[in-house]
Chain A
Amino acid sequence: MASVTLDNVTKAYGDEIAVEDMNLEIRDGEFLTLVGPSGCGKSTTMETIAGLTQPTEGSVYIGGRDVTDLPPKDRGIAMVFQNIALFPHMDVYDNISFGLRLRKYDQEEIEKRVDRAAEIVQLGGMMDRMPEEMSGGQRQRVAIARAIVRQPDVFLMDEPLANLDAELRIHMRTQLQRLHRELDTTIIYVTHDQAQAMTMSDRVAVIDNGHLQQVDPPLTCYNAPDNLFVASFIGSPAMNFFHGAVTDDGFGSEFMNLGFDPEEIGATPGKDATLGIRPEDVYLKRDREEATVPSETIKAHVDVLEPMGDEVFTYLLLEEDVETSAEGRGEGQLLLSLDPQTDIEEGQKVEVVFDRHEAHLFDSASEEAIAHSLA
């Protein structure tokens, strides 16, 4: 068990900067998830921690020890890979015991540890199978057993569930959480799937474009995103945004106006700002009591309904002639999620309110959050 610290880590491939000046402190025994879109530098960050790639600048500490120049095998880490990476020419037992055999443990100790690891991931009786004879989930469990058998200080998991089917992925998600509780080891987990990040982690590190955006518990990232990127990345479906400016008495934009005292929340009148409202904080007018501080009524009509079973994603157009683009939700569109029992149909005119208590205001220029409640 150990803490992991990244100190001003920069990694460049030629002119391409994958990670820039990353400072990250992962506490002992913590489950931390690195999350971000593809190519944001999260895998590079993990490879730097593992020692599979050398940082261009900066240092990596594991358990207070500077491991920047140590090879992966001497860092006290174990890793589970996205493509599972079992050795195809070895059976399950040989795969799991590979690291122990390299470290010259005695036979008895190896057997004891392999048995224990196999028990934790429920792999009993499969010791002489070859990887190609196993299903995806079984292989993944072998890979996890191979990682835990050495009792490493830190676990690194690089999208370990990405290649599994949806059902298995959700099952393994709970398995991993149980495993973390049982082993109490520091786990660093890389994923682009925010559902995994939200459900499993103690803290989430949101990365975009090689920069750390926010490191906080999942619910903090959700309820109080530090900036526009975190607000748009965390939460599914994504937040509604309205680009406008702070006025003397609130926020104004083409489709949405909101009155508040700018001074009270520290906003400067005249500055460009973006208003963010999560789909789950928008209500039909008749349900307005559900909002803590309901806003004024907004008139709109229903564009598209997407029934998901437990909820219906309802896309509203705030004016008749709003342009809809394939790129995503544009200005003048509003997404809300409704109860599937709601009596609503496409084309219908509706009146909605949103919860001012849950509205976010961001500075458009710096993209930093100004306020997380406009009540």
Chain B
Amino acid sequence: MSDAEPEHPDLAAQERSEEPELDRGVVEAWAAKMISNPDRAYKSLFYIATIFFLLTTLYPFFWLLMVAITPSGSLNDVGVLTPGGFNPEAFIDIFQLLPFHRFMFNSFLIATVSTVLVLFVASLAGYVFGRLRFRGKTPLLLTVLVVSFFPPAAFFVPLNRLFNRNVDVLRPLLADGSLFNTPFAIVIPVSALYLPLSIFILMTFYAQIPDGLEDAARVEGTTRLGALFRVIVPLSAPGVATAGVLTFITVYNEYFFSSLMTDGRPEMWAPMLEGVLAFRGQYEILFNLMAAASIVAVLPVAILVIVAQEKIVSGLTSGALKE
């Protein structure tokens, strides 16, 4: 190449850092800037998406709070961002006007019992589906899955009739021998409906525990069941936590059976949902109390999720990666 050879015009254009000055509108200029510096575009898009997400998820809570702290007389004055007044007494009233704590306890109990039941049964089923080989395993697994496809309403009528029937065997245990108006009327159907999901989660986890560990536990002195609860379950802690928390939240938030399987009185084991709706009187709907009750009702689940968050995240992702 000789020095005399003229430089290609593109080379010079590439070395100019700025675009040539052009007369452009604001949007066009902004677009040009983003094209020349895509990192900025990604960054601003990230913030836009985050803010949008936070707004859509958190704004309802914020607005609930605004409603809750508005005195009942000025509920019409609640704005988009501002309360109609300031009176935090609603958070105390909900416990005085009605035993809302009892509703919450009922819900908590129902969710806890369901979770324990689901985890226990799903552990056994997960062990069988995940670790044993037997004829008809896949059809059986699909059958279990099909149960969760049914709409809850399909079960309601037969279950309601069943639970209202007096069963003599249950008479010593339950006052009138029927399951209606007991926690079991909710625990039984929701546990059955949410069991398949937990079976699937635990199955994937239990299947990954090496056979050698189970063999070692059995040689060391456990039964198969002992090996499951002493070795396989502890090693699958993230999976168990995930299944447990998912079940707890779903049962705690469950609407259908919760609203239909009791008569709505707190002493009859009505869950939190009935408590929130109970502030709807004949002549007046106490929106501020309902809002306060809703916020209080969310707290246990929020705390649970924050505590178990790390385990759940690792559980969800590791289950997804390994299978």
Q: Which residue of A lies closest to B212 (CB)?
A: A85
- A286 adjacent to chain B (CB < 8 Å): no
- B168 adjacent to chain A (CB < 8 Å): no
- A78 adjacent to chain B (CB < 8 Å): yes
What does the 1/0 interface line of B191-229 toward A look like (CB < 8 Å)? 000000000000000000010110111111111001000
Q: Number of A interface residues at 8 Å Cβ cutoff, please give it.
A: 26
CB distance from B5 to the nearest CB of A (A): 61
B234 & A71 in contact (Cβ 8 Å cutoff) = no
- B159 adjacent to chain A (CB < 8 Å): no
- B235 adjacent to chain A (CB < 8 Å): yes
> How big is chain B's contact interface, by range?
10 to 19
B223 & A71 in contact (Cβ 8 Å cutoff) = yes
Please tell me which one of the listed residues B213, B219, B223 contacts residue A52 in the complex, with CB atoms under 8 A apart. Answer: B219
For this complex, 22 residue pairs linking A to B, each with C-beta atoms less than 8 Å apart, are A47-B215, A51-B219, A52-B218, A52-B219, A72-B215, A73-B218, A77-B219, A78-B220, A79-B215, A79-B216, A81-B212, A83-B210, A85-B212, A85-B213, A87-B216, A87-B217, A87-B235, A89-B234, A98-B220, A102-B226, A150-B220, A150-B221
Say whether chain B's binding surface is mostly helix, strand, loop, or mixed: helix
Q: Which residues of A contact B231 (CB under 8 A)?
A: 87, 89
From residue 209 to 262 of chain B, which have CB atoms closer than 8 A to chain A? 210, 212-213, 215-223, 226, 231, 234-235
A87 & B215 in contact (Cβ 8 Å cutoff) = no
Tell me the B residues contacting A by CB distance below 8 Å: 210, 212-213, 215-223, 226, 231, 234-235
A81 & B235 in contact (Cβ 8 Å cutoff) = no
Please tell me which one of the listed residues B213, B218, B219, B221 contacts residue A87 in the complex, with CB atoms under 8 A apart. Answer: B213
Distance A99 CA – B221 CA, assembled complex (angstroms) = 6
Given A73-B220, A85-B216, 10 other A-B residues pairs in contact with their CB atoms under 8 A: A51-B218, A73-B223, A81-B216, A82-B212, A85-B212, A87-B217, A89-B234, A99-B221, A102-B220, A103-B221
CB distance from B209 to the nearest CB of A (A): 10
Q: Which residues of A contact B234 (CB under 8 A)?
A: 89
CB distance from A91 to the nearest CB of B (A): 13
From residue 148 to 165 of chain A, which have CB atoms closer than 8 A to chain B? 150, 156
Tell me the A residues contacting B by CB distance below 8 Å: 47, 50-52, 71-73, 77-79, 81-89, 98-99, 102-103, 146, 150, 156
Q: Which residues of B contact A102 (CB under 8 A)?
A: 220-222, 226
B221 & A73 in contact (Cβ 8 Å cutoff) = yes
Q: Which residues of A contact B223 (CB under 8 A)?
A: 71, 73
Q: Which residue of B lies closest to A104 (CB)?
A: B221
A78 & B235 in contact (Cβ 8 Å cutoff) = no
Looking at A51, A71, A73, A83, which has the most chain B CB atoms within 10 Å of its CB?
Answer: A73
Distance A47 CA – B218 CA, assembled complex (angstroms) = 12
